[in-house]
């Protein structure tokens, strides 16, 4: 069973950071200085569990007036293809206040997944943290 909760404790936030470290820093070789930023303090964070084991995380934040950016979606490798990512996206979207635009930066391999969730690519391909991305907006 999958559950997704809004993070309210430092312990849960540290668990989310550990998941991000495993996925982004260790698996994808993103420099830790790029992974953790001042935005962490301004974001609303989520923690996903599969059969009561913490395995995924995400966050959202206000970017500019009327724009909300979804970020740092990460699921531990052994829990991918178990619908944890979809549960995270749905929980985040259900938490959002009204926004004129909901957007994200998606790694190339994740674009088909986000398209199934209703997002569309816009603009040119770009590099972020050494990984190719496209900007996507909720259609």
Which residues, including other chains, have CB under 8 Å from residue 31's CB and lie 6 or more apart? 25, 129, 130
- In this structure, is residue 15 part of a structural domain? yes
- The pLDDT value recorded for residue 40 is 86
- In this structure, is residue 105 part of a structural domain? no
- The pLDDT value recorded for residue 113 is 97
pLDDT at residue 36 is higher than 90: no
- In this structure, is residue 117 part of a structural domain? no
The number of distinct structural domains making up the chain is 1
- The pLDDT value recorded for residue 117 is 97
CA gap 88, 91 in Å, rounded: 5
- In this structure, is residue 74 part of a structural domain? yes
68-106 tens-digit pLDDT? 999 999 999 999 999 999 999 999 999 999 999 999 999
- In this structure, is residue 137 part of a structural domain? no
pLDDT at residue 29 is higher than 90: yes
- The pLDDT value recorded for residue 76 is 98
- Per the structure, the complete domain to which residue 83 belongs is given by 2-99
pLDDT at residue 33 is higher than 90: no
Closest CA to 30 of 89, 74, 85, 93: 74
CATH number of domain containing 38: 3.40.630.30
Residue 21 has a CB neighbour count (10 Å cut-off) of 16
If pLDDT is split at 50, 70 and 90, which confidence band does 38 have?
confident
- In this structure, is residue 71 part of a structural domain? yes
pLDDT at residue 127 is higher than 90: yes
pLDDT at residue 41 is higher than 90: no
């Amino acid at each position: 069973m999958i559950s997704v909760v809004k993070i309210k404790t430092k312990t849960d936030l540290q668990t989310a950071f550990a998941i991000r470290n495993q996925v982004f820093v260790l698996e994808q070789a993103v420099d830790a200085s790029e992974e953790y930023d001042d935005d962490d303090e301004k974001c609303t964070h989520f923690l996903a569990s599969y059969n009561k084991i913490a395995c995924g995380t995400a966050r959202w934040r206000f970017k500019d007036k009327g724009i909300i950016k979804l970020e740092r979606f990460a699921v531990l490798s052994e829990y991918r293809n178990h619908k944890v990512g979809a549960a995270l996206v749905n929980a985040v979207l259900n938490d959002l206040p009204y926004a004129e635009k909901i957007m994200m930066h998606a790694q190339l391999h994740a674009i088909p997944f986000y398209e199934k969730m209703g997002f569309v690519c816009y603009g040119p391909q770009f590099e972020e943290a050494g990984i190719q991305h496209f900007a996507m907006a909720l259609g």
